[in-house]
Chains A and B, each alone.
Chain A
């Protein structure tokens, strides 16, 4: 069957399927790194690959720098990221945000990227004094919050925006705190 006669995707080559999803992930990460206006395109196709990988990487680095109870540390990071994202999302939906559950979890998950980078940087420099860690994690926290505000802010009515954004800041603050205390 010829592709153009077939509007469906049942016969597409596997490589095309893989490339489409990889492009989608790259596109979203790019928008998190350089937040800019047009969020609609990014939001339309959600995926949970980015959040899964970013969260696993962060959990790995935090658990290897934990002195004891590495398994617990790893699981806590994983649960905090996913359950936290779910709670913040439900809050946004209760405030009449016009965004679906998975879209919101996807965006919140992608936006932990700066905090994941901060975790890796701290692990590389192996300098665990507060004076070094705080500026790095603080900057990453601001970046994460700023990027997610660009996506989520516009989905909630103006009058309730603060109520929706506050839990998002808190969510990233908890993750930032997990990074700081590593």
Chain B
């Protein structure tokens, strides 16, 4: 846990303010996934850090392009395929049918006690924040007329945005399923809170 403490500050303070789920939050018996939290943040931070660093240190455009694009691509894969199901118990697929149309497929865990509220927050905040960051970078480059950088930023924004869209749809679907079953409202509140807070 100590290892990841730099990332813990924001969500935990946020949770304390809330108070609503304070009894379940600190000693939640949901399994913890520190490695998932680490990789959920690692590629996102690498991409943005290298991108910002390149304007101070001369790394070279091509090398920056490659590192940032690949980091974003790895982050897309990790977020879509691993950390989503580990941290919030959600997963989305976009499947292609025979006639070429596509449909969304959503999976969500039924047992919401398996989702740690702190980890849920740790999942949603970066997904939203980094999508917003790449959007802002794109706007800045667009008006600064630096079109070479704009290419990088749009690629990163599209990758981050695809995950955000997929998971928002997935969370809505999970809430609907829970309501339908009228079985447990805990999940709904967790998902709700995570989304609202974000």
Contact = CB atoms under 8 A, between A and B. Distances in A.
Given A10-B107, A21-B77, A155 B100 contact: yes
A17 B91 CA distance: 12
A155 B100 CA distance: 9
B96 A75 contact: no
B69 A52 contact: yes
Contacts of B65: 71, 74-75, 78
A56 interface: yes
Contacts of A43: 96
A47 to B, nearest CB: 9
Contacts of B77: 21, 49
Contacts of A14: 82
B81 A70 contact: no
A103 B100 contact: yes
Q: Contact residue range for chain B?
A: 20 to 34
Given A14-B82, A71-B148, A75-B151, A100 B107 contact: no
Interface string A8-22: 111100100100010
B101 A100 contact: yes
A143 B61 CA distance: 32
Contacts of A79: 151
Interface string A26-56: 0000000000000000011010010010001
A18 to B, nearest CB: 8
A60 B96 CA distance: 32
B73 A71 contact: no
A162 interface: no
Nearest to A92: B100
A71 B61 contact: yes
Interface of B: 60-62, 65-66, 69-70, 73, 77, 81-82, 85, 89, 91, 94, 96, 98-102, 107-109, 148, 151
Interface of A: 8-11, 14, 17, 21, 43-44, 46, 49, 52, 56, 59-60, 63, 70-72, 74-75, 78-79, 97-100, 102-103, 155
Nearest 7 A-B pairs (CB), nearest first?
Answer: A71-B61, A98-B100, A8-B107, A10-B85, A99-B100, A74-B62, A100-B100
